[in-house]
Structure 1
Amino acid sequence: MKFQGRSTFALHNRYISTIALLLVMVVLEFCASKSAAAADIGLSSDPTAELVNGELRPGSHVKLFLPNLPYLAISHAVNAALLRPENNERGWQYDLAISHTNHDDKVWDFELRKDAVFHDGRAFNADSVIENMRFFKQAPFTFSKLHLLFERAEKLGEYRVRFHLKEPYGAFLHDAIWLQFYTPEYLAKHGWNGKPTCPNLAEPGLFGMGPYVLHKGYIEGDRSSPEVVLKANPIYWGEDKAKVETITIYTNLTLAQAREQVLQDEAVLDLTPVSFADQLDTVMSPYAKLAVSTSLNNYAMHINMINGDPALLDQRIRFAINHAIDQEYLLNLSMLGEGVMSPTMVSPNFYKVDGAIASLAPFFAEYHQQNQTDIESLKRLVSDYQKEQGLDPNQPLQLTVVAQESFQFLIGDIQYFLSQINIALQVEVVFAEKIVFGRLFDTWQGKNKPWDLLLWGNYDWFKHPWSAFFVYRPFNDWSTLPPNPYLDALSDQLLKFNVESDEYQSLLAEVIRHVYEQNYMVFLPTPNNVYAVNKEVKFDPGRSAFVYLRDLEVTDWHWSIRGDKPYPKLRMVPLQINRQNF
């Protein structure tokens, strides 16, 4: 606990208001649990699940704002792959494949569905896989090692394919989630992606195989239209068909705009992430309800060791930054307890990560015995550096952070913590994730505008800790680290071994230990996923970045279905919080 000495008027008032908010929410939940009949003092049960039937509702329309990695959710609604992400322990389920085998994690065989068709009606088969992998090899995604290890795809039969890799690769199934397949015409025009971000949704059309068709707009990691419209695919071949006829995703709203629209205006927005401080307002909204899940997500705060302030190359300064920031405070006050603490930039909720962290308990105990982390000691580290560099220790060390607008609630507190050790943090706020990515991607090539720290939401997209650790590989768009052969070797080994292998957990632990010891990123708590959802929309939040659009359903009382009928006041009562995966 590092609350001593933090009694400024602003922090004191924030502490009091936060505790008040928490107490009100606890009382509401308690009242609901004691008496479901006492709707005027508690929370009513959510009847949505009983009012939907798993079938497509003609005329239904759901509108979403997804500020973080929206192309992930959209791509798995529009496209299809051998596997698709799933909210289960292994992180995936079969999609175009119905079974698979592997030989020493180097040769992977897949049996394909025989009933899958593209949006334009043409059949999908092994030839489709071979053609797409030819284009993949010409311009692959580069966020994993697949582009280096993929050798060739072989047709074993009309509905059987084999992938040959150059060496064992235990993470291949997680990459297979992103091997999405396109029509020949689309490939001829756009090819595969060849970008740091994965899904290739360059224009509307009948090029995919998912339960939805991209009807309007475009969306990729580095560019998007302000509005993306999906329409239900009438010839979808899978079991999990679309249940909403039209889905609109907005990409250029601010979080404040989205909050007002979903809480105050029934037919403008149906679903959006909300800040932790907006939970009570969401519960009490006449049109919205609150949905929360534990997550595999991370706040990724990069330290620019490529061309940022030279101070960041000094391990003492990185150490001081990380240990000045009180994770427990951020978690319990800034985040209202919605998350878990983490010693490095990876969610403890990933498979076997909590075990890896637990195995490091002796290391952490010894580390904190040997290193002083009180404010005065950290302040001395900064002062010593300044004196060595001929800087005035009476003046703060100046650093700049770039952050998306939705993370301002964290930045203010981080500013305060760093000010206590004589580091002044200047904040540059941007309103779109793609702008943050642009600044990050330009850095390793030396084309960036100056920055020292950069914060984005690394929401799990890979169903594997690699979705956090991939930023530790130097010389790629996502990394801001100098060369590190040891960390490179660790990363190679981590991807090589299957998650069920005997070596996997110990490798995880070693990556976590090394990164923690070197302070290569700013380590922040793992957040829960928190959403405001229209009361007439069935939505269960998952643990990753994926909003499973195919699972959305609406009741007869949804604004898109009921027509001119007014929304009954009886349905405006506060509903119990939908908490998943706890």
Structure 2
Amino acid sequence: MTKRKYLATVLIGLMTVSLTLAGCSTSKPVSSDASQKPVSSGAPEIKKEAQTLAKKEGNKLTIAVADNFISMDPHDTNDTLSGSAQATMFEGLLGFDKDMKMIPVLAESYEASADAKVFTFKLRKGVKFHDGTPFNADAAKANFDRVSNPDNKLKRYSLFALIVKTEAVDEYTFRVTLKEPFGAMLNNFAHPAARIISPKALATYGKDVSKHPIGTGPFKFVEWDPSDHLMVEKNPDYWQKGLPKVDGIKFKPVPENGSRVAMLQTGEVDFIYPFPSDQAQAISGKDGIVVENKPSIIARYVAMNTTKKPFNDVRVRQAINYAINKEAFLKVVFRGYGSVLDSIIPPGLQFYSKQTPYAYNLEKAKQLLKEAGYENGFETQIWGANNSTAMKAMEFLQQQLAQVGIKVKVVPMESGTLSSKIWNVKDPKDAEIELYYGGWSSSTGDADWGIRPLLAGESVPPKSYNTAYYTNEKADQLISAGLNTADPEKRKATYAEVQKMIWQDAPWAGLIVEDTLAGRKNYLDGVYLIPDGALSVKEAEIKH
């Protein structure tokens, strides 16, 4: 079966992702009809006033981000932010463009068998890793053997667990065979976790390869101080002629919103993300700054540890859903830039199915708490990041839940500490987490990766990101059924059923789908955020 015919059958959902880019996020399903216009979220339009070109010395960029990077190993990374930095140094066989349409990268072409079990890639010739070793089928095989081996205990293993055999057919032909058919496997090959690491680096550094990132990308690793900065420099031997156009990039973690904005205003940095939504209108169009918002597939939610009292009672979980005014959350925390989440996955993902929202109803919440034996409420704590927006979100949730007698202690943490607290748990009964404010984007564009890592019983930490420790045998069966068929109609029906089931079980309080907001100096082009919240700097260019 040819690449084109195969994509037309099993990757139709990627169209829904790209469609949302024409406007703001929508809480309504987007059809795969390319003529359909997305519905605006109703957020205020950001000013795009003409300005004199700001001055810039040199040809290097500085980018301020909200959190610290956690890992530079794409096979062992669960956060989109780290993946954005990795994208400067690593590339995969496939990838996504700025509209999340699949594109070949290190593979020039690819084919899938009719049963969606065998995938063959024709690789790009003449590409070298930053250490001078050649990229070829052996390199691809070494990487997929690594990430698909459960003994390596890599965070992205579940994306590639179906791989049963890899073959270097010849120097530039690579083939993968799956245990079972999986219609969305090409999406997984385009995921950031499928980026290729130098086999020499893997052999030399082993588990420490995260500190020595060596790929084929447009930039080469220079240094990484996790608490202060990460630096990359131009790869003069990059295979794509004419790129990169800047000499280097420094990434700086700056958790406080006001500090990031001030650094952009003074020119200390050239680009910041996320841009604080409460300052977007006031700042855009001044000091050579342009603020841009785009719809995304980033879902924000509160996970509840379903193994701990009182969250092991579905009535308590549903009460929390009723006690939170999601429209107010969107307006107060994100200034309206986004839409209310009305399923366990956002509308931009393939096989999204809209659910009946939990309306803001304090009396209903109190009634459910009373039925569960918590008429006077209870005390708990919520974990989350220590950046300004996350803290504002948790404080809002704290105030909302106080109205029904739930006293919430806000516990913000630096990203490395938070990651450690979540991932170092070996046994669910030892998990300290109670409530967790987080976000997720499916970088495959498919429902599977919006559900399985977060809500499958097999995905509890440290295996994956099921911070609710949610287990439902029937839901797990449905998730597996959606994984093991290439029939789009069967997958659609299966995922609709599992979304309804989990929505009613309420291991989360679903909140919003946020817009991406970024600020840049007006001399900077070619830097943008894609719908999963990842940053692309490959085409960055400074105009003088």
Measured against the shorter chain, the TM-score band is 0.7 to 0.9
Alpha-carbon deviation of 1:314? 0.5
Q: 2:24 is matched with which residue?
A: none
DSSP 3-state at the match of 2:373: helix
Cα gap change, 1:134/1:523 in structure 2, threshold over 3 Å: closer, same or farther?
A: closer
Among 104, 116, 122, the alignment partner of 1:94 is 104
Alpha-carbon deviation of 1:426? 1.4
How do 1:138-153 and structure 2 match up within 5 A? 139=152, 141-143=154-156, 145-153=158-166
Q: 1:484 is matched with which residue?
A: 472
Q: 1:288 is matched with which residue?
A: 289
Q: 1:105 is matched with which residue?
A: 116
DSSP 3-state at the match of 1:290: strand
Alpha-carbon deviation of 1:152? 1.6
Question: Is 1:76–1:84's contact at 8 Å kept on the other side of the alignment?
Answer: no
How do 1:98-497 and structure 2 match up within 5 A? 98-103=108-113, 104-136=115-147, 137=149, 139=152, 141-143=154-156, 145-177=158-190, 178-191=193-206, 201-203=210-212, 207-217=214-224, 224=226, 226-238=228-240, 241-251=243-253, 253-263=255-265, 265-268=266-269, 270-283=271-284, 285-306=286-307, 308=308, 310-353=309-352, 356-357=353-354, 364=356, 374-386=361-373, 393=375, 395-405=376-386, 406-430=389-413, 432-443=414-425, 445-446=427-428, 450-469=432-451, 470-475=453-458, 476-477=460-461, 478-479=465-466, 480-497=468-485
Alpha-carbon deviation of 1:452? 1.4
Q: Equivalent pairs: percent with the same residue?
A: 18
Task: Identify unmatched segments of 5+ residues in structure 1.
Answer: 1-21, 33-42, 194-199, 219-223, 388-392, 557-582
In structure 2, what is the Cα distance between the partners aligned to 1:328 and 1:243?
Answer: 42
Question: Is 1:111–1:160's contact at 8 Å kept on the other side of the alignment?
Answer: yes
Amino acid at match of 1:296: I
Question: Is 1:78–1:209's contact at 8 Å kept on the other side of the alignment?
Answer: yes
DSSP 3-state at the match of 1:407: helix
Question: Is 2:244–2:539's contact at 8 Å kept on the other side of the alignment?
Answer: yes
Q: 2:29 is matched with which residue?
A: none
Cα gap change, 1:451/1:128 in structure 2, threshold over 3 Å: closer, same or farther?
A: closer
Question: Is 2:384–2:437's contact at 8 Å kept on the other side of the alignment?
Answer: yes
Deviation readout 1:264-302 (Å, 9 max, x if unpaired): x21245323122112123215414220111001111421
Cα gap change, 1:333/1:267 in structure 2, threshold over 3 Å: closer, same or farther?
A: closer
Amino acid at match of 2:399: Y
Q: 2:533 is matched with which residue?
A: 545
DSSP 3-state at the match of 2:195: coil
Q: 2:60 is matched with which residue?
A: 60
Cα gap change, 1:126/1:44 in structure 2, threshold over 3 Å: closer, same or farther?
A: same
Q: CA RMSD in A?
A: 3.1
Alpha-carbon deviation of 1:347? 1.6
DSSP 3-state at the match of 1:261: helix
Cα gap change, 1:140/1:102 in structure 2, threshold over 3 Å: closer, same or farther?
A: farther
Amino acid at match of 1:209: T
In structure 1, what is the Cα distance between the partners aligned to 2:364 and 2:66?
Answer: 42
Question: Is 1:139–1:192's contact at 8 Å kept on the other side of the alignment?
Answer: no
DSSP 3-state at the match of 1:294: strand
Give the structure with higher Rg (CA): 1
In structure 1, what is the Cα distance between the partners aligned to 2:340 and 2:42?
Answer: 22
In structure 1, what is the Cα distance between the partners aligned to 2:43 and 2:531?
Answer: 26
Deviation readout 1:234-287 (Å, 9 max, x if unpaired): 000025721211101123643342232223x21245323122112123215414
In structure 1, what is the Cα distance between the partners aligned to 2:155 and 2:182?
Answer: 15
Cα gap change, 1:179/1:190 in structure 2, threshold over 3 Å: closer, same or farther?
A: farther
Question: Is 2:321–2:509's contact at 8 Å kept on the other side of the alignment?
Answer: yes
Among 490, 505, 523, the alignment partner of 2:492 is 505
Question: Is 2:133–2:200's contact at 8 Å kept on the other side of the alignment?
Answer: no
Cα gap change, 1:272/1:482 in structure 2, threshold over 3 Å: closer, same or farther?
A: closer
Cα gap change, 1:519/1:548 in structure 2, threshold over 3 Å: closer, same or farther?
A: same
Question: Is 1:106–1:169's contact at 8 Å kept on the other side of the alignment?
Answer: yes
Amino acid at match of 1:226: D
Amino acid at match of 2:369: V
Question: Is 1:66–1:249's contact at 8 Å kept on the other side of the alignment?
Answer: no
Alpha-carbon deviation of 1:522? 1.3
In structure 2, what is the Cα distance between the partners aligned to 1:99 and 1:485?
Answer: 39
Alpha-carbon deviation of 1:440? 2.2
Among 79, 83, 96, the alignment partner of 2:94 is 83
Alpha-carbon deviation of 1:318? 0.3
DSSP 3-state at the match of 1:504: helix
Cα gap change, 1:87/1:508 in structure 2, threshold over 3 Å: closer, same or farther?
A: farther
Amino acid at match of 2:223: K
In structure 2, what is the Cα distance between the partners aligned to 1:163 and 1:549?
Answer: 30
How do 1:559-578 and structure 2 match up within 5 A? none
Question: Is 1:299–1:345's contact at 8 Å kept on the other side of the alignment?
Answer: no
Normalising by structure 2, report the TM-score. 0.80
Question: Is 1:89–1:351's contact at 8 Å kept on the other side of the alignment?
Answer: no
In structure 2, what is the Cα distance between the partners aligned to 1:440 and 1:227?
Answer: 24
Question: Is 1:344–1:524's contact at 8 Å kept on the other side of the alignment?
Answer: no
Amino acid at match of 2:512: P
Task: Identify unmatched segments of 5+ residues in structure 2.
Answer: 1-40, 68-78
Alpha-carbon deviation of 1:352? 4.3
Q: 2:76 is matched with which residue?
A: none
Q: 2:37 is matched with which residue?
A: none
In structure 1, what is the Cα distance between the partners aligned to 2:297 and 2:242?
Answer: 24
In structure 2, what is the Cα distance between the partners aligned to 1:528 and 1:373?
Answer: 22
Deviation readout 1:293-318 (Å, 9 max, x if unpaired): 10011114211123x4x010111000
